Amino acid sequence: MASYTLDINNKKHQVEVAEGTSLLWVIREHLGLTGTKYGCGIAQCGACTIHVDGEPMKACVLPVNNFSNGEKITTIEGLSENGDHPVQKAWIEAQAPQCGYCHSGQIMQAVNLLEKNPNPSREEIKEHMNGNICRCGTYLRIIKAVELAAQNK
């Protein structure tokens, strides 16, 4: 076991886990932040998308030992205390989720897009969201939610 200090959602967390443990499992199992989901385990579906220093990354393939240099990690819980981030509100307004499983990762990806490009075209939205899979196929509602969030920012 090794000890790691992680900066997650603007709080320092001390964890003791085996070297090489996935950041996803540290977030979910050791810190109880279960909004970040396990989907595929091979960084293909995007359900585990978090931000590391503002950039979206797939937590399922990131070893915890890569994150002891003060990197700022943000999970879906860190976007807003009350779930009222503009993208979260747009998701509700557009009724984007069906089963909802992928949507924390979808939202994290969309937040990154809108931080870089506050007024993306439909094609830019599709391109940026391409690495996140929705099993239920609510892609048109996801696109609508991103468009709403862009309008309401």
- Tell me the domain boundaries of the chain: 2-78, 86-152
Class of 86-152 in CATH: mainly alpha
Instruction: Give the pLDDT confidence score for residue 112 in this predicted structure.
Output: 98
Report the Cα 70 to chain-centroid distance in Å: 19
- CATH architecture of the domain covering 2-78: Roll (3.10)
- Mean pLDDT confidence for 109-127: 98
- The rounded distance, in Å, linking the Cα atoms of 54 and 44 is 20
Cβ burial of 136 (10 Å; 0-12, 13-18, 19+) is: middle
- Mean pLDDT confidence for 115-138: 96
Band (68; pLDDT cuts 50, 70, 90): confident
Residue 14 scores a pLDDT above 90: yes
Is there a shared CATH topology between the 2-78 domain and the 86-152 domain? no
Q: What dihedral angle (degrees, nearest 10) is formed by the CA atoms of 112, 80, 101, 87?
A: -50
- The rounded distance, in Å, linking the Cα atoms of 51 and 84 is 18
For 74, the 3-state DSSP assignment is strand
- The rounded distance, in Å, linking the Cα atoms of 133 and 23 is 20
- Mean pLDDT confidence for 35-48: 97
CA distances from 120 to 55, 57, 112, 142, 151 (A): 17, 20, 12, 14, 10
Q: What is the pLDDT of residues 47-58, one digit of tens each?
A: 999 999 999 999
Band (12; pLDDT cuts 50, 70, 90): very high
- The rounded distance, in Å, linking the Cα atoms of 107 and 74 is 12
Q: Cβ neighbours of residue 96 under 8 Å, at least 6 residues apart?
A: 103, 106, 138, 141, 142, 144, 145
Q: What are phi and psi of 86, to 5 degrees?
A: -55, -35
Mean confidence (pLDDT) of the chain = 96
